């Protein structure tokens, strides 16, 4: 027979845990009035039903002074634990704004440190749901020390386990750096903000009046700063997309990306591609439609959808195999590379390489964006980031030249010279130092100037250059592409190449690390 006192104690403990989970009803109501979900509502949306196991739910802070000894709620304003997403284990910490504004003190930080250590040792993804008021001022340097421990663990786990941040409230001061150190940042419009100094401080120091949204809102970081990779309209959508992202990522850098049984035939002909891409190199088209035609079930998860739109980056599958896609976007700035596009693509290439995700690069690039603003802004240095990222990548790398590929931008977009494994070209390809008219102007400048009809001469020399040095088979004849393919065969050939390259082994020379052109 069960010990009655033990049963009573178990019931009392269950009641305490229930009260901790439900929280203060008034605080929950205020959270809802702000248009925000409670911490457990968020976890219920993120994780598989019934899978969450909380860690240190009963812990309280031990600080004294400034009234803290009279305010010692359990959890200390952060919920930590583990659960599953589509049956795969993840670790999570989530600020609870209802408790002391989700502010971080020593105990709060210690709970986060523990779950980060568990994620690293288990080799499982780490997700943070950020909704806190920053450092707990009453705890002084202890709070700052807590942030330092989080940052050190972020860096230690970088490239080892996937780290995902979801910004569902304020992230001010030091709190903004933790998301910035992770692999992917999700933000919700009207709810999440990130900034180092708030609007009041900005006005006091600089005299500038700026709203919270303009200073650090989701659209600003998604479109202008590039800090947020994903921006959504509501929390449910954002958390669903976190689950979707995890479906493409491995547990850790020693595990393969998950494979899915593909219902979309890999030998499906891509007839539509013949109409999507104009042969005229000066006509625009949407590369996104090309990608969706090639990948499984048109499922392409864009990264940085509204930032640096002249290059597309994202995750997809071909034949059930995960791959990362980098592609020039002729529909925006003609697909030219510039400072932001180079940085965006470089970061994505590094992410894919860290987690063993093969890379597909679709090329239609007229060059780098000219101009004094670009040069002064360091376009050479930023372009070097993309070059470095590709050169250092050891995952399978496949290049497809869709149309034009001019100058240094051709080299940077994973050309064979910098190490891609296979390079295919469509019959519309034009690979050259520059466009044919510009090349003719340089080579035949005097002949054109001395001609009886300079415009006619310019046109003739342009066509001569195109016919001799830019015809579709020129690069293949010289071994600079491995094959010129029918666009309709692209999907099938990619699936075959990904399978053939699965066992690729590219050991690197020993070194502590390379000097990345930051």
**Cα 439 from Cα 1, distance rounded (Å):** 93
Number of Cβ within 10 Å of residue 141's Cβ equals 9
Q: Which helix (H) or strand (E) holds 186?
A: strand 184-188
User: For residues 226 and 224, what is the distance between their CA atoms, to the nearest angstrom?
Assistant: 6
Q: Number of C-alpha atoms within 13 angstroms, CB side, residue 413?
A: 37
Phi, psi of 361 (to 5 degrees): -115, 120
Query: CB of 414 within 8 A of CB of 420?
Result: yes
Residue 234: Cβ-neighbour burial (10 angstroms; 0-12, 13-18, 19+): middle
Look-up of token digits 């959808």: 305
Using the Cα atoms of residue 413, residue 416, residue 422 and residue 425 in order, give the sign of their dihedral.
positive
Rg of the chain over Cα atoms, rounded to whole angstroms, equals 27
**What is the C-alpha separation between 5 and 312, in angstroms, rounded?**
64
Catalytic residue annotation: 173-174, 408-409
C-alpha closest to that of 39 among 131, 141, 134, 138: 131
Select from 99, 81, 101, 100 the least CA-distant residue to 91.
Answer: 81
CA–CA gap between residue 22 and residue 40 (Å, rounded): 8
Start-end of H helices in 23-157: 25-33, 39-46, 106-122, 141-157
Q: How many helices (H) and strands (E) does the chain have?
A: 21, 17
- Which H/E stretch holds residue 446? helix 445-450
Distance of CA 160 to CAs 297, 386, 472, Å?
30, 21, 42
CA distances in angstroms from 96 to 104, 260, 320, 398, 405, listed in the order given: 11, 35, 38, 45, 51
């Amino acid at each position: 027979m069960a010990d009655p006192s033990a049963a009573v104690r178990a019931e009392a403990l269950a009641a305490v845990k229930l009260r901790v989970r439900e929280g203060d009803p008034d605080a929950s109501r205020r959270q809802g009035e702000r248009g925000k979900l409670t911490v457990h509502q968020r976890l219920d949306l993120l994780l598989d039903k019934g899978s969450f196991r909380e860690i240190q739910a009963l812990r309280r802070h031990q600080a004294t002074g400034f009234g803290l000894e009279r305010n010692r709620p359990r959890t200390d304003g952060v919920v930590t634990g583990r659960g599953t997403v589509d049956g795969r284990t993840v670790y999570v910490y989530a600020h609870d704004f209802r408790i002391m504004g989700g502010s971080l003190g020593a105990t709060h930080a210690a709970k986060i440190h523990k779950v980060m250590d568990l994620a690293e040792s288990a080799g499982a993804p780490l997700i943070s749901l950020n909704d806190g008021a920053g450092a707990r001022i009453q705890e002084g340097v202890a709070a700052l020390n807590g942030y330092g421990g989080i940052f050190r663990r972020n860096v230690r786990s970088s490239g080892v386990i996937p780290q995902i941040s979801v910004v569902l409230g304020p992230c001010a001061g030091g709190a903004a750096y933790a998301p910035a150190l992770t692999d992917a940042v999700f933000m919700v419009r009207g709810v999440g903000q990130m900034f180092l100094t708030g609007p009041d401080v900005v006005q006091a120091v600089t005299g500038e009046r700026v709203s919270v949204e303009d200073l650090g809102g989701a659209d600003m970081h998604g479109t202008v700063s590039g800090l947020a990779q994903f921006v959504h309209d509501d929390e449910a959508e954002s958390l669903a997309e976190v689950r979707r992202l995890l479906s493409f990522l491995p547990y850790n850098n020693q595990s393969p990306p998950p494979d899915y049984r593909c219902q979309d035939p890999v030998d499906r002909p891509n007839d539509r591609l013949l109409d999507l891409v104009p042969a005229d190199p000066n006509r625009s088209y949407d590369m996104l439609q090309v990608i969706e035609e090639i990948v499984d079930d048109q499922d392409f998860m864009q990264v940085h959808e509204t930032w640096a739109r002249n290059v597309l980056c994202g995750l997809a599958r071909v034949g059930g195999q995960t791959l990362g896609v980098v592609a020039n976007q002729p529909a925006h700035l003609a697909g030219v590379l510039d400072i932001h596009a180079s940085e965006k693509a470089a970061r994505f290439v590094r992410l894919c390489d860290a987690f063993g995700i093969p890379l597909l690069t679709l090329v239609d690039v007229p060059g780098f964006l000219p101009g004094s603003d670009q040069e002064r802004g360091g376009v050479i240095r930023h372009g070097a980031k993309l070059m470095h990222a590709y050169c250092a990548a050891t995952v399978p790398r496949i290049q497809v030249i869709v149309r034009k590929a001019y100058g240094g931008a051709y080299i940077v977009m994973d050309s064979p010279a910098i190490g891609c494994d296979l390079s295919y070209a469509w019959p519309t390809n034009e690979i050259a130092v520059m466009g044919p008219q510009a090349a003719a102007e340089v080579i035949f400048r005097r002949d054109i100037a001395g001609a009886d009809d300079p415009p006619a001469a310019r046109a003739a020399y342009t066509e001569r250059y195109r016919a001799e040095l830019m015809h579709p088979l020129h690069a293949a004849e010289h071994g600079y592409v491995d094959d010129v393919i029918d666009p309709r065969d692209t999907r099938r050939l990619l699936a075959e190449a990904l399978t053939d390259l699965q066992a690729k082994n590219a050991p690197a020379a020993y070194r502590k690390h390379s000097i990345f052109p930051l």
